[in-house]
Amino acid sequence: STQEPWRPFDRSRVYMADLESALHHSLRVELAVQSVIKGDSMIALKSYISVLAKYFPGRPVVMNLLKSLNSWLKNQTVDQISYKAFKENVDNTAQVPDAALPEGVRWVGCQGSQPHFRGYPCGVWTLFHVLTVQASNTGDSDPQEVLTAMRNYIHSFFGCRYCADHFENMARESLEVVNTLPSSVLWLWSRHNRVNNRIAGDLSEDPYFPKIQWPSPEVCPSCHMLKDNGEHGWNENQVLTFLGSYFSSSRILLDYLE
């Protein structure tokens, strides 16, 4: 078997290796499916890369790459590009100094107990939680900017098509009510929990990483409460504080990077 050795990790932390692996898979594998990118896909790609260039809390070399990719894309006046031209910029064939996105994936917090579990979809969720928290910290962003970029990316490119359709339904239903930065962070958290709830126990679930309503009471006791009617409720202020810390750029671990 070609399975890689297990990488020990801290389940309460976010790893840059997962975020960079998600970017690699997104920009070099998922996008490569469309040999020509145009129309809605082109708009989706532009806003996705723009959000990454603004809010991805990456290493300087990765940020340089995302910024050069963003300016190249912004300068495209034609309404379609070939994936090949895009890829040349991802691979920095023009050799912009100190700019690169490492090749290949190295899942850490997103490792699965078997190769077909977790990995990329886990990386996508993690990436977008990090981006909503980062945008929220800047304080003056459009509250829907990151979520709309994510929605359109998923709609145009995400390989799991029924996942994309489910996500689009949730976005259509309620994304428009998001009008503050904190509510954008909470919107993604609560929709991710809805997905967890819907697919808990499915064959796609890694038995070592069961789907739960996250964060668990063990990890964040104050996030949970009992409502007056005795039902479980969330203390959203506490959840927000927890998410702000869990996904904050200053707590991202750099282990296992090259």
- Tell me: does residue 122 bind ligand FAD (CB under 6 A): yes
166's CB contacts (< 8 A; 6+ apart) are 195, 198
Cα 141 to Cα 115, 136, 146, distances in angstroms:
38, 7, 9
Q: If we measure between CA atoms, which residue out of 59, 190, 178, 173 comes closest to residue 125? A: 190
By beta-carbon proximity to ligand FAD, the closer residue of 61 and 164 is: 164
What DSSP designation does 253 have? B
**118 Rama sector, left if φ>0, alpha if ψ -120 to 50, beta otherwise:** left
- Tell me: does residue 223 bind ligand FAD (CB under 6 A): no
Residue 58 is encoded by which pair of tokens?
């990456």
Which one of residues 125, 168, 238, 248 is an interface residue with ligand FAD (CB under 6 A)? 125
Tallying the residues shown for the chain, one arrives at 258
By beta-carbon proximity to ligand FAD, the closer residue of 50 and 196 is: 196
How far apart are the two ends of the chain, measured CA to CA in Å? 24
By beta-carbon proximity to ligand FAD, the closer residue of 193 and 235 is: 193
- Tell me: does residue 118 bind ligand FAD (CB under 6 A): yes
By beta-carbon proximity to ligand FAD, the closer residue of 84 and 172 is: 172
- Tell me: does residue 196 bind ligand FAD (CB under 6 A): yes
- Tell me: does residue 185 bind ligand FAD (CB under 6 A): no
Which one of residues 38, 159, 168, 209 is an interface residue with ligand FAD (CB under 6 A)? 209
Alpha helices for the chain (secondary structure H): 16-24, 39-55, 60-74, 83-90, 120-138, 145-157, 161-174, 181-199, 236-246
Number of residues forming the site for ligand FAD (CB under 6 A): 25
Which one of residues 24, 51, 66, 121 is an interface residue with ligand FAD (CB under 6 A)? 121
Q: Which residues bind ligand FAD (CB under 6 A)?
A: 110, 118, 121-122, 124-126, 129, 154, 160, 162-163, 166-167, 189, 192-193, 195-196, 199, 202, 204, 206, 209, 214
